[in-house]
Amino acid sequence: MGEVRSYEAPQTGRCQCGAIRYEIIQAPQMVYTCHCTDCQRMTSSAFSLGCVLPDGAFRLVQGQPKGVQRTTGSGRVSTRWVCPECGVWVCTAPRPGSTVRNVRGGTLDDTSWLRPTAHIWTRSKQPWLALPEGDGNFETQPQGDPWWASVAPNG
């Protein structure tokens, strides 16, 4: 298994076609996987990888994403920023009053430093996927507002 590197600022990311480019200037408050069926469909994979960042740590460098609203499994409305050209989900817009933004980990140019410590909606996870021992494991959306504050390593 490869070595997990540490975060070094700034980190850059983009959509598949490069029309949307961004940078983050601060380490995430937490990195998590979401195994809900909506994320499985949106990513065409077994889960999505999310990075919770202070909203001010995310900066668009190029392009203008399109907002796509969805009602999540927890019942909340979420606005996903996607590239209008290639359709890649780059991040989730902050909810009104929120101070964080969830960036899709797979859109970062360097993902070698990412290490999820929480796994949500695991009741929908693929049965062949084993989760690391010691990580937070939640069958649905963890309680709390914001939910991630109750499960973050330093939260």
Residue 85 pLDDT > 90: yes
Q: What percent of the chain has pLDDT over 90?
A: 58
pLDDT at 2: 47
Model's pTM, two decimal places?
Answer: 0.85
CA distances for 17 relative to 23, 41, 126, angstroms: 16, 20, 29
b/e code 77-106 from CB counts within 10 Å (16+ = b): eeebbbbeeeebbbbbbbeeeeebbbbbbb
Mean pLDDT of 109-128: 94
CA distances from 36 to 7, 13, 19, 29 (A): 27, 24, 28, 21
Higher-confidence residue: 148 or 21? 21
SS3 of the chain: helix, strand, coil, percent, to 5: 15, 35, 55
Q: What pLDDT does 75 receive?
A: 77
Q: Is the pLDDT of residue 104 over 50?
A: yes
Domains, the chain, with CATH or none: 11-146 (3.90.1590.10)
Q: Chain-wide mean pLDDT for the chain? A: 87
pLDDT at 127: 95
